[in-house]
Amino acid sequence: MQQLGLEALVLTDTARFETFWPGKINSTTMTAVAELSRGAGEPLVYVHGPRGVGKTHLAKAAWRSAVEQGRRSAYLPLDQALMLDPVLVEGWGELDLAVIDALESIAGYSAWERALFRLTEELRERGAGLLVLSRAPPDSVGLELADLASRLAWGPIYGLEPLDDTELVRLARHLAHRHGLELPPATAVFLVNRLMRDPAAVVAAMAKLDVAALTAQRRLTTPFVRSVLFSD
């Protein structure tokens, strides 16, 4: 079986289900993906959503979870693999779980679409798992191979939604608590109001604040947060 040479990432990447903040709006989606990674639930799950909502985080978390349980799994980020030969996925039909990320990247590329169709059929015949993530549902992602779009719609289709400000504040305070820090509600609101409205921005900001607070032995007050992140 050919591989992407990305296996080491599963050991070093921080993307886990435990570090994904679904909020109330995305909890059902995360549960379905987590079940798939364990070999439970539906064998085919399709997740779509705009940039910045955590699709790649979920993809890597599912891959990591499957590997840590001893399941044969591979992760394919199509936005990085587009210029590679689709022969790359030959043999992936033998996997327990294939994770295909950024499907929209190969829409209109017939060789890749045919390769993914064959993979989908091989996995389906064995009852193996397939997780596909994209920016749009199967019927509107731009696939030219109608049979591939049809197969990808056989399982449940979930949409990942952007978190609102309330959930982003909860995420920031949760991350602070994980690092043994207290982030007052008013300071968390101040932080979120000045960041891009996506979880990745909150995670990056809290990681920087964690280091700064430890180094300076300071509490996460609003003036301190302003001086670390927004002083320019």
What is the set of domains in the chain, with CATH numbers? Answer: 9-159 (3.40.50.300), 165-229 (1.10.8)
Q: Tell me: the pLDDT tens digits for 163-209?
A: 999 999 999 999 999 889 999 999 999 999 999 888 888 988 999 99
What secondary structure does DSSP assign to 101-164, as a single string?
A: E-GGGGTT-HHHHHHHHHHHHHHHHHT-EEEEEESS-GGGS--S-HHHHHHHTSS-EEE-----
| Mean pLDDT, rounded, for 8-37 | 81
Q: Tell me: the pLDDT tens digits for 78-100?
A: 998 878 899 999 999 999 999 99
Q: Which helix (H) or strand (E) holds 77?
A: strand 73-77
d(CA 50, CA 9): 24
- Structure-block tokens of residue 210: 């964690």
d(CA 21, CA 3): 30
pLDDT at 5: 41
pLDDT at 13: 55
Q: Tell me: the pLDDT tens digits for 36-52?
A: 999 999 999 999 999 88
Q: Average pLDDT of the chain?
A: 91
Confidence class for position 64, pLDDT limits 50, 70, 90? very high
Pairing of strands 73-77, 97-101: parallel
Single-letter amino acid code for the residue at 87: V
Instruction: Select from 162, 155, 163 the least CA-distant residue to 132.
Output: 155
d(CA 175, CA 90): 40
